[in-house]
Amino acid sequence: MTDLTNLGVKAIRDGVAGGDFTAREVAESFNAAVASAAELNAFIVTTPDHALAAADAVDAKRAKGEDLGAMGGVPIGMKDLFASHGVQTTAASHILEGFKPEYESTVSQNLWNAGAGMLGKLNLDQFAMGSSNETSYFGNVASPWRKEGSNAAMSPGGSSGGSSSAVAARIAPAATGTDTGGSIRQPAAFTGICGIKPTYGRCSRWGVVAFASSLDQAGPMARSVEDCAIMLGAMAGFDPKDATSLKMDVPDWEAALNADLKGKKVGIPKEYRMDGTDEAILASWEQGKAWLKDAGAEIVDVSLPHTKYALPAYYIIAPAEASSNLARYDGVRYGLRDLPEGAGLQDMYAATRAEGFGDEVKRRILIGTYVLSAGFYDAYYNQAQKVRALVARDFEQAWGECDLILAPTTPTASFPLGSLNEDPLTMYLNDVFAVPASLAGLPAMSVPAGLNPDGLPLGLQLVGKPFDEQTVLDAGLAIQQRSGFEQAPEKWW
Amino acid sequence: MSVDKQTVAKIASLARIKMGDEELERMVPELNGILNWVEQLGEVDVEGVEPMSAVIPNTLRLRDDVVDADPKTGGGKRDEVLANAPAAEHGFFGVPKVIE
Amino acid sequence: MSDYRIQGATGEWEVVIGLEVHAQVTSNAKLFSGASTAFGAEPNSQVSLVDAAMPGMLPVPNRECIRQAVRTGMAIEAEINQWSRFDRKNYFYADLPQGYQISQLYHPLVGEGQLLIEADEKTGIPEDKIIGIERIHVEQDAGKLMHDQHPTMSYVDLNRSGVALMEIVSRPDMRSPAEAGAYVRKLRSILRYVGSCDGNMEEGSMRADVNVSVRKPGEELGTRTETKNVNSVRFVMQVIEYEANRQVDVLESGGTVDQETRLFDVATGTTRTMRSKEDAHDYRYFPDPDLLPLVLEDDFLDECRASLPELPDAKRTRYESELGLTPYNARELTAEVETFARFETLLTATAEATGKDEKTVATQVANWALSVAPGVIKSLGDDANVEHATAERQAAILAMQDKGEISGGQAKEIFEIVLKEGREPAEIAETEGLKQVSDTGAIEAAIDDILAKNEDKVEQYKGGKDKLFGFFVGQTMKAMKGKANPAVVNQILKDKLG
Ligand SMILES: [Mg+2]
Ligand SMILES: [Zn+2]
């Protein structure tokens, strides 16, 4: 039998349905792979029993001839930002260590309902704040990729770095991610996998630990565009418990996948040609244009004039929302409590939060608190929301000229862990290409484009109109077919 | 605009994060680096621009006034609500004594 | 203009008062969760995961809460903002699980409105006065802290956490405790008419934050203090009285008033600085990113407007102009929902029972409802079962009285028996002999007898001593054992005495 861990979502689902192997065999294979990959530190907790139980349920259904679901028999990794009923959910923070929710997030529940099982809770940057997976309380995640000729541990990207690392290392066929300012796309690009952030509101935020509510979106991370389409279909859907959830039918993206881009116009935003962008990245962008043209698309130049301001606007809005969203971690109802001798209530808050939050989280809470504080609201937060409106308007205007935008996902390939820790700003620049689509709530995907001269993966980003995930996926498929990217990292763990 | 140690201390207190001297001092240049950088937003002409209020054009959906319509957002969950509490006593959350 | 003044050592001081009234919106479920709002449940038994601010929980607003706030806004003739939104007010406290309260600062649901308080000599309000209302916004209530159950801990109960409140913010237009008292009473009355709040101040359904400052008449506004969560009209007035005098003392002894949050101590009738709110001035309000803008459609507003009842001011005016009631009666009858509701039911029943129109019997019914009936009920004390006093029975009594079948005294006696025993008025009148004699023959016979026995007095009367008429009436009534119809007695006496 082939090694089941080399299979993706579609292959597993179809194989289980067709009786090529059982769901239990799949779960056992991945459980073993997970257990043998501790060096990646991709998981905070593993839940082999959950994966087996879900697999057995699918096998039982098959025996009875029942429908197995869109993800029937597929074990996945769950980013530890999604609440899992009865399973420790931490957002990779100390303050939530030991927290076992009495509820299941809507997105994860949707996946279980579709027949998926859970391999474990995936590591991430603490509270999803970070782009390298170095801010987790539970230690850094390593990318399975290494630079040619080097043993240095590389960043899997962040914040969904546990997800990207696990999927790239083939210890999970797919994983959930969340994207606030690039947290699905950037790690996908760094590890040579696909990841799509859908239109804001497609996936319910209910039960997902909040970072920045107006930006947070869940999405799938997998090794192929088809797998992303399948999994996104299972994750998405209207949820009355989330007031920002889109009340729209979920299209059958998988069924409608079509790599023929005839009649589609692809916009190339000139402002994304920034100083400091890696040569290899620019070359892959050119290659991407050629592939899409080959798929029948027309390439047009477009302008997104406020691109430069997207990142600073993001670094006001996201911390502002986070400073408020994270106020609930106070040691009263759940999670860590640090009660120094003789401390009053407010001292308890301050001690608990000092102990429970990592440096980057503290930094963003302080920034967020500052920009919202008396006298600064207009200059910072309100100004940023106006700039955000302009960034969104840029896209709306671009849609007059194109159906889709192609850009690099990141300005560089992955970097060694620990190499960008000096200055938070350098780290923030990782998301310079990803953030504009986040601010505008648009569907955006990263697909692998190839390897750079160091043998590290590069990603291409596709940004679509609101609700038009289909065109994004179609273009992704067109690139995938042409790049033929199938490289896997060499196993060292 | 740049912040000094005293301002950082004030913000940290407002955010209820206890910080020692050393940590405050470390934060000052880091925060100033970020603040100076985001201040480039001041260059943008936002004349007549409304701050974004909904990412995707959409307005607020309202729910019906029905108790416990969805068990996930309904009440009557004392045990679940208290299950993770560091100090749950007699059906309450316990906190250090507060003087109002 | 109110002439309420504090007499200080340096002269007279004027008091400036603004009130922020928090009124619990009448709804089954909380503002952003499906947990019940019922009062008095076991601690933390009406708490959802949302109310406890579990990670990843999200608010979804309750339509009924929005609707009631809009109707309230319409009742105070306010602008309704068809575009509003919720903001977060950030601060840390044990009764606030999210670490922020979802409220409305920048774009409240209801804008500028007003409320009329009526002249009342008794309490020192010389003339009608309009009090401006700046806004009404909708927000979450906080939980409750219990301090006396453990030596070193406070206990948190989140049952109230997330219950919908309307915060009704007045302009600083009030100038005396009496005006503030009248404002709260009037506001309470309107809320109860509209049905948007039960107005139950003991259960905390209505609480006022009392903003007080003092100044020398004609000068600029002074620094104000805000005394939180005052839960009765009497306490509101006490707070103002105490705070105004305290501030005058502070200012006259060379000090300055701190802008601060204070707490009212019911036991001593004094206020003091609220320690827990000392540094909570920077609330970092910003739009709640979990909630989109609230846009109200025209038909939603139309339904809100169409469902509004006749309101106290309109009703009072109508009672005077259409029913011919005195201003006093009109005001008393319209002050409370229960009072006017009982009155209107009784009025309809009485009109039907007498076959007359409402206007004709309105004054009789008003007097009965405001003084006669309450007097009887009060005199019976615990013996009265008011449930026996149905509108039909009371109307039957009033109709008998209207027809002259019973006297006013008999009406009260019959009502007493109704209250005690729940029997029907007609049967009581019959069985207990509580009926007036209108039979002219019997009355005439009695009068003839009296006139014959008092010839001297008849002479005196005819000689001009008109006052003796009452004597003859009295004697006749006595002879008739009080059961003669006074109108018939009067008429026959007049005829006979010429
Ligand atoms: Mg107030
Ligand atoms: Zn309030």
Q: What is the pLDDT of residue C278?
A: 55
Q: Give whichever of A110-124, B54-68, C262-276, C484-498 has the largest mean pLDDT.
A: A110-124
Instruction: Give the Cα separation of A44 and A51 in Å (integer).
Output: 16
**Which of A109, A213, A328, A373 to probe the C interface (max C CBs under 10 A)?**
A328
Query: Does C342 lie in the same domain as C262?
Result: no
Query: Does C214 lie in the same domain as C286?
Result: yes
Cα–ligand 2 centroid distance for A321 (angstroms): 21
Alpha helices in C322-454 (DSSP H): 327-334, 337-354, 358-367, 373-380, 391-402, 408-421, 425-431, 440-453
Structure tokens at C124: 């020192």
Cα–ligand 2 centroid distance for C261 (angstroms): 13
Query: Does C350 lie in the same domain as C260?
Result: no
CB contact under 8 A, C56 and A374: no
Instruction: Give the Cα separation of C345 and C336 in Å (integer).
Output: 14
| Length reported for chain A | 493
CB contact under 8 A, B75 and C34: yes
Q: What is the pLDDT of residue C434?
A: 84
| B23 CA: distance to closest CA in chain C (Å) | 22
A49: containing domain:
4-260+445-483
Q: What is the pLDDT of residue A176?
A: 98
Instruction: Give the Cα separation of C441 and C438 in Å (integer).
Output: 9
Instruction: Give the Cα separation of A15 and A30 in Å (integer).
Output: 15
Q: What is the pLDDT of residue B10?
A: 95
A200: nearest CB among B14, B37, B55: B55
Q: Is the pLDDT of residue A67 over 90?
A: yes
Query: Does C22 lie in the same domain as C135?
Result: yes
Q: Is C295 on the interface with A (CB under 8 A)?
A: no
Give which of C440, C446, C436, C437 is closest to C479, Cα–Cα: C446
pLDDT grade for B8, boundaries at 50, 70 and 90: very high
Query: Does C462 lie in the same domain as C316?
Result: no
CA of C137, nearest ligand number: 2
- Residue C290 domain flag: yes
Considering only CA atoms, give the Rg of chain B: 23
Query: Does C462 lie in the same domain as C419?
Result: no
Angle of the A359-372 helix axis to the A307-325 helix axis, nearest 10: 100
What is the total count of domains within chain A? 1
Cα–ligand 2 centroid distance for C357 (angstroms): 48
Give which of C136, C100, C112, C116 is closest to C21, Cα–Cα: C136
Q: Is the pLDDT of residue A2 over 70?
A: no
Q: Is B69 on the interface with A (CB under 8 A)?
A: no
Give which of A489, A473, A491, A490 is closest to A224, Cα–Cα: A473
Give which of A126, A251, A154 is closest to A452, Cα–Cα: A154
CA of C139, nearest ligand number: 2
Structure tokens at A102: 């009495």
Q: What is the pLDDT of residue C268?
A: 95
Strands C129-140 and C164-170: antiparallel
Query: Does C326 lie in the same domain as C426?
Result: yes
Read off the CATH number of the domain in which A244 is found: 3.90.1300.10
What is the total count of domains within chain C? 3
Q: Is B28 on the interface with A (CB under 8 A)?
A: no
Q: What is the DSSP letter of C372?
A: I
- Residue A190 domain flag: yes
Q: What is the pLDDT of residue C122?
A: 85
Query: Is residue A383 within 8 Å of residue B42, measured between CB atoms?
Result: yes
- Residues of A engaging C, defined by a Cβ cutoff of 8 Å: 82-83, 89, 91, 96, 99, 101-103, 105, 205-210, 212-214, 240-244, 320-321, 323-324, 326-328, 330, 332-334, 345-346, 349, 369, 372-374, 377, 381
* Structure-model confidence comparison of residues A192 and C447, the more confident one: A192
| A180 CA: distance to closest CA in chain C (Å) | 13
Touching A (3+ Cβ pairs <8 A), the chains are: B, C
Query: Does C459 lie in the same domain as C355?
Result: no
Q: What is the pLDDT of residue A411?
A: 94
Of the candidate ranges A117-121, B16-20, C227-231, C488-492, the one whose mean pLDDT is the lowest:
C488-492
Query: Does C486 lie in the same domain as C465?
Result: yes
Query: Does C269 lie in the same domain as C167?
Result: yes
CA of C165, nearest ligand number: 2
CA of C108, nearest ligand number: 2
Read off the CATH number of the domain in which C470 is found: 1.10.10.410
Amino acid at A185: R
Count Cβ–Cβ pairs < 8 Å, chain B vs chain C: 159
Which of C404, C431, C458 lies at the terminal end of a domain, its last residue? C431
Q: Rounded to a whole number, what is the distance in angstroms from the first to the last CA of chain A?
A: 23
Instruction: Give the Cα separation of A124 and A43 in Å (integer).
Output: 9
CB contact under 8 A, C289 and A321: yes
Convert the pLDDT of each residue in A402-415 to its tens digit.
999 999 999 999 99
Angle of the C468-479 helix axis to the C455-462 helix axis, nearest 10: 140
Q: What are the residue numbers of the active site of A?
A: 79, 159, 183
- Residue A23 domain flag: yes
Query: Does C259 lie in the same domain as C155?
Result: yes
Find residue C110's DSSP bridge partners: C80, C136
Query: Is residue C450 within 8 Å of residue C478, measured between CB atoms?
Result: no
Residues 244-283 of C with CB under 8 A from B: 263, 274-276, 279, 282
- Residue A331 domain flag: no
Q: What is the pLDDT of residue A160?
A: 98
Q: Kindly report the three-state secondary structure assignment for every residue of chain A.
A: CCCHHHCCHHHHHHHHHHCCCCHHHHHHHHHHHHHCCHHHCCEEEECHHHHHHHHHHHHHHHHCCCCCCCCCCCEEEEECCECECCECCCCCCCCCCCCCCCCCCHHHHHHHHCCCEEEEEECCCHHHCCCCCCCCCCCCCCCCCCCCCCCCCECCCCCCHHHHHHHHCCCCCEEEEEECCCCCHHHHHHHCCEEEECCCCCCCCCCECCCCCCCCEEEEEECCHHHHHHHHHHHCCCCCCCCCCCCCCCCCHHHHCCCCCCCCEEEEEHHHCCCCCCHHHHHHHHHHHHHHHHCCCEEEEECCCCHHHHHHHHHHHHHHHHHHHHHHCCCCCCCCCCCCCCCCHHHHHHHHHHHHCCHHHHHHHHHHHHHHCCCCCHHHHHHHHHHHHHHHHHHHHHCCCCCEEEEECCCCCCCECCCCCCCHHHHHHHHCCCHHHHHCCCCEEEEEEEECCCCCEEEEEEEECCCCHHHHHHHHHHHHHHHCCCCCCCCCC
User: Which residues of chain C carry a pLDDT beneath 50?
Assistant: none
Whether this model's ipTM surpasses 0.95 comes out as: yes
Mean pLDDT of A216-240: 98
- Residue C1 domain flag: no
CB contact under 8 A, B44 and A373: no
With beta carbons under 8 A apart, name residues in chain B contacting C291.
60
| Length reported for chain C | 498
Three-state DSSP class for residue C415: helix
Convert the pLDDT of each residue in A25-38 to its tens digit.
999 999 999 999 99
**What does pTM read for this prediction?**
0.93
Convert the pLDDT of each residue in A433-448 to its tens digit.
999 999 999 999 999 9
Q: What is the pLDDT of residue C99?
A: 98
pLDDT grade for B48, boundaries at 50, 70 and 90: very high
C199: containing domain:
6-304
Structure tokens at A167: 């999927």
Query: Does C471 lie in the same domain as C322?
Result: no
CB contact under 8 A, A333 and C286: no
Query: Is residue C485 within 8 Å of residue C438, measured between CB atoms?
Result: yes
| B70 CA: distance to closest CA in chain C (Å) | 7
